[in-house]
Amino acid sequence: MARVNDRRPDPSELLRRVQAAERRELRGRLKVFLGYAPRVGKSLRMFDEGRRRKVRGQDVVVGAVQGPVSPEIQSVLERLEITPQAEGGAIDLIALFKRHPSVCLIDGLAQSNPPGSCNPQRWQDVRDLLDHGIGVITALNIQHIREQQDEVERITGKRAAHSVPRDFLHEADEIEVVDAPAEALLEGAEVVNMPSARQLLELRELALLLAADIIDRQLQEYLDEHGVVARWGAQERILVGLTPRSSAVEMLHSGRRNATRFHGALLAAYVEQGELNSADRARLDSNLALAREMGAEVHCLHASDFVQAILEFGREQRITQLFIGHSMRYGRKIPWRGPIDRLIDAADEFDVRIFPHRECE
């Protein structure tokens, strides 16, 4: 998890974004309905959006229908054109390329294709449709996102057989979360295969946070592309300012706890200012190691002025809280303004939290 990061997107990252933007122009648009469990109503929402788009004049075709179809979904499907699926349930890619609708509705994104199909996985079929300039609206549950499967298994004790890589979601132009109370899912369900009410709550939370993270990333890309500097992000971002003698352990533990509770990010920065004696060096190294261990993004800044460096870095990283240790001198009354005072005076964008100095560290 921990890594030393470059402070700005590097040229290859920028190039990747430009290329992605170019690809996007030619590519079909991808929209994903994301649900937290079966029966939450994703499929109905997806097909209903297709129906409404068709009413508004878009050329919409159904490419895949999944599982038992409820009467509600059936009545929506009756008003849509359907391209029949091939033997074994795979999407009939050839037929869809030929038909070339502007929007194709694909349910059950995580399905695997039978042997002998063009692609082993349905999400790869979707990628092909997009590459051919066909827009796709699809539906997916979080237990089918590969990177979430460990977490889902921890909650429910079960693991879905099929999965879609999270990267695929990052390609989506739009993700819509389908949220509903857990009780609505449990009502009239065959309880045997359903998670418990508590598990459903946890899955709901997981789905919302995943979507929030994806949106945050997309928003940041959008802001970068448009050269907009956001003053206060939607996510809490905590920066721990490390020095050799600060109470790093307490700050990092508190930082971790805060970041976890807020589902935010934890960063740690150290300002390199010339040579340290060996005892201070060792202390600093162990603090940096601890920061990495706690999953903080660790940055080393090079600057002659500690305060200026921390301020600039904090702004650049859209920090919402800065954790900093007491200066030793705060033990007595001082007639001049120290670095912490300067930080407080200048930090208008983020809170400054001052930690006590503990002697025995």
Alpha helices in the chain (DSSP H): 11-26, 42-55, 71-77, 93-99, 122-131, 149-156, 166-170, 182-186, 197-225, 248-261, 278-293, 306-316, 339-346
What is the closest distance, in whole angstroms, from the C-beta atom of residue 317 to another protein in the complex? 15
* Nearer residue to another protein within complex by CB, 78 or 183: 183
In angstroms, give the least distance from the CB of 223 to another protein: 6
Between CA 286 and CA 270 the distance in angstroms is 12
First-to-last alpha carbon distance for the chain, in angstroms, is 26
Binding site for another protein (CB under 8 A): 31, 173-181, 183, 198, 201-202, 204-205, 208-209, 211-212, 215-216, 218-219, 222-223, 226, 228, 230-235, 254, 257-258, 261-263, 321, 326, 330-333, 335, 340-341, 344-345, 347-357
- Give the helix/strand (H/E) hosting 62: strand 60-64
Angle, helices 11-26 vs 197-225, to 10°: value is: 100
CB nearer another protein, residue 93 or residue 256? 256
Give the C-alpha separation, 124 to 42, whole Å.
Answer: 20
Angle between helices 197-225 and 149-156 (to 10 degrees): 160
Q: Of 31 and 283, which CB lies nearer to another protein in the complex structure?
A: 31
Given the complex with another protein, which of 132 and 342 has the nearer CB atom?
A: 342
Shortest distance, position 331 Cβ to another protein, whole Å: 8
Q: Look at residue 5 and give its three-state secondary structure.
A: coil
Please tell me the distance from the alpha carbon of residue 234 to that of residue 245, in angstroms, as a whole number. 32
* CB nearer another protein, residue 194 or residue 212: 212
User: CB of residue 300 vs another protein: minimum separation in angstroms?
Assistant: 25
Q: Could you give the 3-state DSSP secondary structure of residue 265?
A: strand
Nearer to another protein, 98 or 232 (CB): 232
Residues 298, 252: Cα–Cα separation, whole Å = 12
Q: Cα torsion at 324, 328, 331, 336 (round to 10°)?
A: -90
Least distance to another protein, CB of residue 178, Å: 7
Q: How far apart are CA 187 and CA 174, in angstroms?
A: 30
Q: Which is nearer to another protein, 91 or 152 (CB)?
A: 152
CB of 161 to another protein, least distance (A): 27
- Whether residue 195 contacts residue 156, with contact meaning beta carbons closer than 8 Å, is answered with yes
Rg (the chain; Cα; Å): 26
Least distance to another protein from the beta carbon of 97, Å?
Answer: 26
Name which of 31 and 125 has its Cβ closer to another protein: 31
